[in-house]
Structure formats: structure tokens, C-alpha cells
Chain A
Amino acid sequence: MVDKNQLRIATRNTGFIDPESVESYIAVGGYQALGKCLAEMKPADVIDLMKNSGLRGRGGAGFPTGVKWGFAAKYASDTKYVVCNADEGDPGAFMDRAVLEGDPHNVLEAMAIGGYAIGGNKGTIYIRAEYPLAIARLKLAIQQAKDMGLLGDNIMGTDFSFDIELKYGAGAFVCGEETALIASMEGNRGEPYTKPPFPAEAGYWDKPTIVNNVETLANIPAIIMKGADWFSGIGTETSKGTKVFCICGKINNVGLIEVPMGTSLKTVIYDVGGGIPDGKEFKAVQTGGPSGGALTYKDLDAPIDYENLVARQSMMGSGGMIVMDEDDCMVAVAKFFLDFTMDETCGKCTPCRIGSKRIYEILDKITIGQGTEADLEKLRSLSHNIKDTALCGLGQTMPNPVLSTMRVFEDEYRAHVIDKKCPAGVCADLLEFTVVEEKCVGCTLCARVCPVNCISGKPKEVHVIDQAACIKCGACLDKCKFDAIIKQ
């Protein structure tokens, strides 16, 4: 019997019910929470319950959901909006898609509950256009719910009405930032603006607006049904409930998991994730998406929650986890993530627009062996100043991959700039393929596969690689049957 490390709240129905059937959802208790709110609770009660549950935003920032709702409820307005942020943009993260495709009514029900709580009756799901199946199932679900009187006018015979529409994002990473998302929904260029005013005061069309992530919403009907105490009984002191992660990279069980907050990284990697393939050593895991940070073997026993991740120069983010093993170069990894954020910055503020480019350029310099020790200092100082000055969360977290990898793997950085070596053997410009004389039998196989003919040697004699001509393709190493070629 396998340990039940996982607890499925947000993903309780995905994989179990038919997402295209409202009956299937009703059969597992769907819309009961909304019905309960409308029949038995005042909006303020709902907000109190949410506050007491300790649910925090699962989009990454971890702002308490009940508090956010409370703000929006406080501002008087004829119109208020509930926005579902389904603009899942982290590479390797797809928990929102899984929920929307597998349990769309759950999200709709939660949005209606939010609308009831804040006194709003308009909902919008901002979803990326790259999720056609999720869009189709959401559309179907909205129609079904309306047909059954579970959405639309006078829900379940009450005075409460709530409508939901879809808005499509074009796949801009920054549109996951709530103010950029609102700008995009209004038809403007998707870029963030300075808060305050927060959306809860003046958001979509300047009306009070709550923006909640898909996973956050997916928890809500369960919290309503099972109570705040039940939910706050799960997790750690500051982080309640569960968190959905997408584990990918160098891990056996690539996939979606949902574990209680406070679960250790070790449990996630080894027990739930099944460990590292091919018997390789675990090196690090990037959490929090491209602007998160790398956790290492030093962090394996740390319980995962919002505060603990931030303390380790990373963050919860939306829940992507990219696992790396001994064959991954941390400088190259940082460069990979900066390459992403450099392209995705909206370009509004100077530190993010130019700073991301410059960090990338310095990392690039290091990976091709042209870095200096001064560059390491520049990296550090530039990164700190960008975190301090950038406009939105994207810019403020963009240097995280650099800072977190430098924190634990400074040796690796130094090896690149001082020894001009890539210890993990990834950075091609720093590699040298050499023949181990003792092992070479002179079979000539390597010379025959070399695309640039830079390996010479007579049959049965030790071969030699001309370093100047070598393009570091690695074909010789793959071909050698005697382990006589090494890269270092």
C-alpha cells in the first residue's frame, strides 16, 4: 500500500467526473456550496468563512483570498467584477488547464460564490487562447449551468444573479499579473500599472474587481461545504490547505500532484515524484516558474509553504516544479529562465526591459567562457537593484533564478569564470573532449563519426582530438565503446 501523500481538494473532481456533464458535477455535490451560501449565509458570512479558512492566492503571491474579497465588498459600486485568472503562463505548469478541462463547473461555482460575497454579478474568465479544449468545456459548462438556473438570473430561485463571460488572452506571460490582465481585458496593451489603487477598489473598467486564480477558486466550494476549521487544519502555520504542483524535468513521475502545504521537498521528489531517473543525483528544483528560484539538496527537508520558499530566494508561484539532476548546469539553467523573462517582459519599466537583457547577456558571456569575476559582482548588484526598482511582480522576481543559483552554486559560477569550465558539462564552449590514452584501443570509430574530421590516429593506436577544430558535438563520446573519450 502506497502512502497517501497527496490530498486532493482543488483537483478533487478532475479525472473522476465527466467535465461535459453538469449532472456529473451535481452528483458529486456540485453547486451545493453556492446553494448553501445563497440560502443560509450572508455575504459577510462568506467572507468571514474565507478569511478564517486561511486560503491564500494560488497564483503565486499568496494574498489571503478572504481579505481580498473583503476589500472589494467594502467599496460601494453598481457593478463589481469577479475575474478568474486562467492565463497560465509558466513553462511546465498546467494545473489550471487540468482543472478547467476536468472540472469546469467547480470554477464557475466558486466565481458565483465570490460574486455573492462581494456584491457583484459579473464574472469574467481570462483564459489563454492556447487552451481550446478548456474554452470549449467552459462554454459548455456556462450554458449548462444557465439552463439549470445555477448561473444567470435569479440563481436557484433567489434574487442573486451572476453571469460569466470568457475573454481570451494571447499568451503574454505578464498578463498573469492582475493589473496587466485587467489592462488586457479592457482591450489595452497587456502591461501592469502601479498599485494602489488595487483592483479590489478600481479594477476592470475602474470597478471593484477581485482577480482569483483557477486553483484558488477550485478550493472554494470545498471550503464552504466542509468549513473553515477543516481547511485551516491542513497545512502549516501560515499556509493552509494544499497546493497543486506540476512536476517535470528529471523526475520519474512527471505529472500533476496536490499535497498539503508543509510537505517536504523530499516527499514530493522521492515519494510522490518517484525520484530521479537513471539513478542520477538530484541537484535542484526550480519552483515558482521562470521567476522563481532553485531549491537544492540543502532544502530537501524544508516544508513547502509560501514563507519558506521566499526565505530560500524562490517562491510558490503557480506551482511549476522543474527538477534538475547532476547533468544540469546551473548557470545555463539561470540563463534559460532569463531568456524566457527577457522575451516576456512587457518593457514598461526600465529595470525589467533593459535589465533582463543585460543579465541575460552577462550570463551568456559566462557560459561561453568570457565571463570575469567582476561579472559575478555585476550580476549580483544588478539583480538586487532590479528586484528593488521594477514595477511589477514579474520584474521584481525576474532575477530570482540568478540570485538563487548563485546562492548555492557559486562554485559552479566561479568554475565558469575562473577555470573556464562547466562542471556539469553543459556549456559547449567550455567543454573539452579528450581521449584517455590508457583506454583507447585505436578502433577508429570516433574518427569516422567526427563531422569535422578533427580526430586523428592510426588504427590500433591512441587517437588524438584537435581541440581547435572540435565543435563539441559529442558524437565521438557517444560512439566510443571503451569509455575512452571523456568530456570535462
Chain B
Amino acid sequence: MAKIKSLAELQKKRDELQAVAAKTKNEKVIVNVSLATCGIASGGKEVMEAMKQEAAALGINNVEFTMSGCMTYCFAEPTVEITLPGKEPVVFGYIKGDKAKELVSKYIKSGELVDGVIPASYERIVF
């Protein structure tokens, strides 16, 4: 990995990465699974696997799976955030059993909301 030699280089790198992310966001469905200790313990990994399989089975191939840390909704683990191209991200909680597949077959495939949407009650600092 090339070393970053100055603040300017770091800013350039950030801009490049943001550009890639913006492009992805417009083109792909981004599925972000909460995989901190709590998420993993409540089955987050299985959820991700199930969604991958379901997407493959349904022939949906514009889905990018990512992981993140704690989404802070302990009461609703496992939690998954789905961002449809060009849309605001939506967080789904209580993803147990067939719910994972349902997210793919309903929300990702046709934008049809399923139960367990967790409204965002926060403002997030970005810079």
C-alpha cells in the first residue's frame, strides 16, 4: 500500500474514495449488515449469507454487501441497512429466519417495505 506523504495526498485519496462511493450508491443496492460482537452473536453473518444466496437465486446481481459495526439498535438485532440506488438508506431490525430472504425478494427486488423498519432518530456529524 502506498504511503500517504502529506495532508494534500490524504485529501486527494478521500475525494477519490468518495467519488467511487457516490457512483456505487447510484448504481448498486448496498446491503450493510451490522457485524459487531452483538450482531454476529445474534446471527448477522447468517443473515448476510442468506441474503447473498437469495440474491443469487433471484438473479439479482447489482447488490454490494458490506459490513459495519454496531448500529446501536440492540433491541432489534440482527440489523441490516439497505440503500437502494439513489434512495435514502433504510434500516431493518429483527431480521430472523426467513426475514432475510424477504428483504431481498421484497425490498431489494421491488422496493416493497417489510416489517421492522427502524426510524432514524439521530443527527450524524459528518465532515
Contact = CB atoms under 8 A, between A and B. Distances in A.
Interface of A: 1-9, 11-20, 23, 26-32, 35-36, 38-39, 94, 97-99, 101-103, 131, 133-134, 144, 147-150, 156-157, 222, 225-226, 248, 252-258, 271-272
Contact of B121 (A3, A26, A35, A133): A3
Interface residues of B, number: 42
A407 to B, nearest CB: 30
A15 B126 CA distance: 14
Contact of B36 (A9, A102, A271): A102
B123 A6 contact: yes
Given A27-B21, A97-B37, A157-B5, A226 B127 contact: yes
Interface in B61-99: 66-76, 81
B70 A148 contact: no
A190 to B, nearest CB: 24
A2 B3 CA distance: 44
Q: Which of B72, B74, B121 has the most CB of A within 10 A?
A: B72
Interface in B1-25: 1-7, 9-11, 13-14, 17-18, 21
Given A12-B126, A156-B5, 8 more contacts: A16-B124, A28-B126, A31-B4, A133-B37, A148-B4, A149-B4, A226-B125, A255-B72
Given A14-B69, A18-B66, A32 B4 contact: no
A10 B17 CA distance: 22
Contacts of A18: 66-68
B1 A148 contact: yes
B50 interface: no
B57 interface: no
B73 A35 contact: no
B34 interface: yes
6 contacts: A19-B68, A35-B10, A148-B1, A255-B73, A256-B74, A258-B72
A127 B9 CA distance: 32
Given A12-B124, A149-B5, A156-B5, A101 B14 contact: no
By DSSP majority rule, is chain B's interface helix, strand, loop, or mixed?
mixed
Contacts of B75: 252-255
Contacts of A101: 36-37, 69-70
B60 interface: no
B9 to A, nearest CB: 8
A16 B14 contact: no
Given A12-B126, A133-B37, A156 B70 contact: no
B121 A102 contact: no
A149 B36 CA distance: 27
Contacts of A7: 122-123, 125
A11 B72 contact: yes
A149 B71 contact: no
